Amino acid sequence: MLDDMLSDIAELVNCESPSDDKAAVARCAEVLAGIGERRLGVPPERIVLDGRTHLRWRFGDGPGRVLVLGHHDTVWPIGTLAHHPYETSGEILRGPGCFDMKAGVVQALHAIAALPGRSGVTLLVTGDEELGSPSSRELIEQEARGCAAALVLEGAADGGALKTERKGVSLYRVRITGRAAHAGLAPWAGVNSTVELAHQVLAVQALGDAELGTTVVPTRMTAGTTTNTVPASGEFAVDVRCRTTAEQLRVDAALRALTPVLPGAALTIEGGPNRPPLEASDELFVRASAVAGRLGMPALERAAVGGASDGNFTAGVGTPTLDGLGAVGGGAHAADEHVVIAELPRRAALVAALCETVLASVTAGATARLR
């Protein structure tokens, strides 16, 4: 099994798929479709939304009961393989996108291939997750609704821990409109957007709450045109991360309530919540822990992380969600991205057994209701 997994990962990693290159994502989808058809015996549905290619395998005629979720796009630009190639060295596998999350996609395929019965399982692999899933969000939410569980094959947290909580993400752009004037001859005749931006940056920064884990971070900022002109306009971006929906809504309301400080300045807020929080699904983690015990695996650990994934969307529609079931390794989006080879078949076995357990519990519940 391990040799087959390594062969599939090599093939997938060697097909570069930066999210913003639709043609590259489409090429990678075809490579993945071929790998999936070999492992699962059937081709996927190819779903193209806004020019981005997503793949879906549905098994059985009834409603979906378990959604296995991943993505095949990466953050790495075309040409990365030339200086950062796919390679294995000892117990480590490296290559752009291996940890985030092409190894996890291959694990998902092998896990589902190992199931004695696949009816009720859906595998969805999207092509725009690294962009915030603009075209696939509705598809993900549609597939997740009504499922007993969503299993997300993103890379594990440190030490192989599963991700039971993820912060929700909101993204904003704060735009300032002032009035231009000559900086030397008549600065008083202008309305300085840079100064207004400074006021607003401090107001925005103050909306964070360290005790609740809420971060509100002003990021990229621009203003003005020339060094001798009072800036007539400017803007800055804001990255917000919150553990709860209530906090996400509080920050949203506070940002929209901001008002200009300088007379004559105007302020516009664009954007809003991008992903809801993935709040803890204790029951699903307990079930996974029991499965790991039966497989003779070490006790599973859990982690709450600040980064978001498509698991935020599945949790947002009320589906119990467990994330970080994919590769054990690290270095996502970084030059040291890597995967621990020995963990690949173990995690695939965990996902397969967890799918079986969830499907069995759904069947048992349905039988009990009929009695």
Check if the beta carbon of residue 196 is closer than 8 Å to that of residue 260. Answer: yes
Do 80 and 323 form a contact (C-beta atoms < 8 A)? no
Q: Strands 321-322 and 149-152, how do they pair?
A: parallel
Long-range contacts of the stretch 38-44 (C-beta < 8 A, 24+) = 39/4, 39/8, 39/109, 39/110, 39/112, 39/113, 40/109, 40/112, 40/113, 44/123, 44/125
Count other Cβ atoms within 10 Å, centred on residue 340: 19
CB within 8 Å of 148: residues ≥ 6 apart: 65, 66, 319, 320, 358, 361, 362
Distance CA 70, CA 6 (A): 18
Domains identified in the chain and CATH numbers: 2-166+278-370 (3.40.630.10), 168-275 (3.30.70.360)
Options 8, 16, 73, 165, the catalytic residue: 73
- pLDDT at residue number 165: 93
Q: Which of 16, 128, 129, 356 is catalytic?
A: 129
Query: Within the chain, which residues score under 50 in pLDDT?
Result: 367-371
Contact at 8 Å (CB) between 106 and 121?
Answer: no
Catalytic residue status for 20: no
What six digits make up the tokens of 104? Answer: 């996890």
pTM over 0.85: yes
List CB contacts of 92: < 8 A, sequence separation 6 or more: 329, 338, 339, 340, 341
pLDDT at residue 365, rounded to an integer? 62
Which residues partner with 46 through β-bridges?
55
pLDDT at 281: 76
pLDDT (0 to 100) of residue 62: 75
Asked if 129 is an active-site residue, the reply is yes
What pLDDT, on the 0 to 100 scale, is given for residue 279?
A: 83
Instruction: Sort 245 into a burial class: Cβ within 10 Å, 0-12 / 13-18 / 19+.
Output: middle
